[in-house]
Amino acid sequence: MASAAAAFVQRGKKIVAIGRNYAAHAKELNNPAPKEPFFFLKPTTSYVTSGGNVEIPKGIVAHHEVELGLVIGKGGRDIPKSNADAHVAGYTLAVDMTARNLQDKVKKQGLPWSAAKGFDTFTPIGPFIPKSTVKEPHDLRLSLKVNGITKQDGTTADMIFRIPRLIEHISSIMTLEEGDLILTGTPSGVGPIVAGDKVECALTDADGKELASLGFTATARQGGYEFTE
Amino acid sequence: MASAAAAFVQRGKKIVAIGRNYAAHAKELNNPAPKEPFFFLKPTTSYVTSGGNVEIPKGIVAHHEVELGLVIGKGGRDIPKSNADAHVAGYTLAVDMTARNLQDKVKKQGLPWSAAKGFDTFTPIGPFIPKSTVKEPHDLRLSLKVNGITKQDGTTADMIFRIPRLIEHISSIMTLEEGDLILTGTPSGVGPIVAGDKVECALTDADGKELASLGFTATARQGGYEFTE
Ligand SMILES: [Mg+2]
Ligand SMILES: [Mg+2]
Ligand SMILES: [Mg+2]
């Protein structure tokens, strides 16, 4: 049987997603760059594997945010930066889909982000990438195309808070477990996708080798939640 | 093997917690009563079973919120109110511990509630109560004492949004799975607990029969996160 880390999509319990971890992205949404990391939770019911459909609820403006994912191997609490790497089993490529108009509304009201980030299919997810195949996680290229046109093309070198700091921060608040996923934030270029759009993402290393790809099609959600102002 | 519902503390994947579902509680924190339900996610790593310690992080003002929990049996999506009861396997008694000063800070900034609600040990949790033993979940007494003094004593009859509506709303956004827990909101009387406090909670039915009890001691968290203004 595969380890819980390699099978994180089926067996992981939580997704911890970092906000505003790239200065250019914070700026494009008129948000201040954070002084310490912050995060929100996404439910694992939001996963959809490559080739699937991202369903856009009625009335929702759904933005793509391509991100590097960290898959936790060894669980832990109060993990120091110096030992954070020992807790990472591998990486993945993910899209943190965001209901931007709902998020804007709840932000103004001081309400949780959980619905805006947590709709079914709002976390398209690539394959598990064993850690041994990645030389330097802070030197990877993240790209996302909509209908063949590049919208996001950034490097993990631009993270404001690097991976060990993220793991230290999260695990000082909540215990990490094998199979948990950490989304590390998105570079600039986020924007809406609408039903019918085809999205392709890639993660490549400094040598130009593709470590993972991830594709999905946007469709209109039938039934379910409807956003109104 | 116990069903995933009966073993929800070990095997459940998500905790969906409703905010402001009792008018008197919304008012005591100067919040408007909501026009539709809203929720946030807590990680299952925040569970602590009865008799355990709730650890209060440094600098955190930690409030108790005693709540009725719904344990999901049959999973589902777009569950209509008329069929919601078929998805409930049972009930439980829980405390939605809340880092109130951190929550106040992030609310002002439009940031997620996830850390304020998600610290380790911030979801003290009672036993699984099979549905068959509860005649009317909207006529239960929820009480909480701190050091023997009653702080919360409310009835689930006062929920603004009743159980079928909560299940309909949540499942219109995210699929519910066996073992998921829904926290249904807290009656008025929330307040701080500090290291050394002993907390006792009870859930009783309309006949005065105790369905569950839950106790814990507050301790100071060693290490970990520290809140600063
Ligand atoms: Mg993101
Ligand atoms: Mg939140
Ligand atoms: Mg609560």
Q: What is the pLDDT of residues A148-162, one digit of tens each?
A: 999 999 999 999 999
CA-based nearest residue in chain A for residue B80: A224
Instruction: Please give the share of chain A, as a percent, with pLDDT higher than 90.
Output: 93
Residues of chain A found within 8 Å of residue B177, distances taken between Cβ atoms:
45
Cβ of B134: how many Cβ atoms within 10 Å? 18
CA atoms within 13 A on the CB side of A94: 33
Whether B22 and B138 have beta carbons less than 8 Å apart is answered as no
- State the pairing for strand pair A129-130/A88-95: antiparallel
Where is average pLDDT lowest: A24-38, A125-139, B121-135, B177-191?
A: A24-38
Confirm or reject contact between A29 and chain B (CB < 8 A).
no
pLDDT (tens digit per residue) in B162-204: 999 999 999 999 999 999 999 999 999 999 999 999 999 999 9
Confirm or reject contact between B224 and chain A (CB < 8 A).
yes
Read off the pLDDT band of B1 (50, 70, 90): low
* Partner-chain contact A114 B41, CB within 8 Å: yes
Please give all residues whose CB falls under 5 A of ion ligand 1, grouped by chain where several chains appear: A 65, 96, 186
pLDDT at A198: 98
pLDDT at B26: 85
Ligand nearest to the CA of A112: 2
Residues of chain B found within 8 Å of residue A174, distances taken between Cβ atoms:
43, 45-46, 115, 118-120
Substitution target in A38, A39, A41, A178 with the highest count of B β-carbons within 10 Å is A41
Confirm or reject contact between B10 and chain A (CB < 8 A).
no
Q: How far, in Å, CA of A176 to CA of A124, rounded? A: 21
CA-based nearest residue in chain B for residue A114: B40
pLDDT at A26: 85
Read off the pLDDT band of A229 (50, 70, 90): confident
Mean pLDDT of A191-212: 97
pLDDT (tens digit per residue) in A74-83: 999 999 999 9
**Exposed e or buried b for every residue in A33-56, given b needs 16+ CB within 10 A?**
ebeebbbbbbbbbbbbebebebbb
Which residue(s) pair with B218 in the sheet?
Answer: B54
* Partner-chain contact A174 B43, CB within 8 Å: yes
Whether B199 and B216 have beta carbons less than 8 Å apart is answered as yes
Q: How far, in Å, CA of B181 to CA of B9, rounded? A: 9
Mean pLDDT of A179-194: 98
Candidates A61, A143, A54; CA nearest to A102 is: A61
Q: How far, in Å, CA of B171 to CA of A82, rounded? A: 41
What is the interface size between A and B, counted as CB pairs within 8 Å?
Answer: 118
Residue of A40, A106, A119 with shortest CB distance to B114: A40
pLDDT at A1: 54
pLDDT above 60 (res A218): yes
DSSP B98: E
pLDDT (tens digit per residue) in A56-113: 999 999 999 999 999 999 999 999 999 999 999 999 999 999 999 999 999 999 999 9
Whether A182 and A164 have beta carbons less than 8 Å apart is answered as no
Confirm or reject contact between A221 and chain B (CB < 8 A).
no
Exposed/middle/buried for residue A162 (C-beta within 10 Å: 0-12, 13-18, 19+): middle
* Partner-chain contact B112 A115, CB within 8 Å: no
Q: Which value does ipTM take for this structure?
A: 0.97
pLDDT (tens digit per residue) in B77-131: 999 999 999 999 999 999 999 999 999 999 999 999 999 999 999 999 999 999 9
Domains of chain A: 16-220 (3.90.850.10)
pLDDT (tens digit per residue) in B130-151: 999 999 999 999 999 999 999 9
CA atoms within 13 A on the CB side of A163: 25
Centre of ligand 3 to C-alpha B57, Å, is 18
Give every strand in the sheet of A62-64, ordered side by side.
A98-99, A62-64, A191-193
Mean pLDDT, chain A, as a whole number? 97
Candidates B143, B144, B139; CA nearest to B159 is: B139
Confirm or reject contact between A120 and chain B (CB < 8 A).
yes
Candidates B85, B120, B115, B47; CA nearest to A18 is: B115
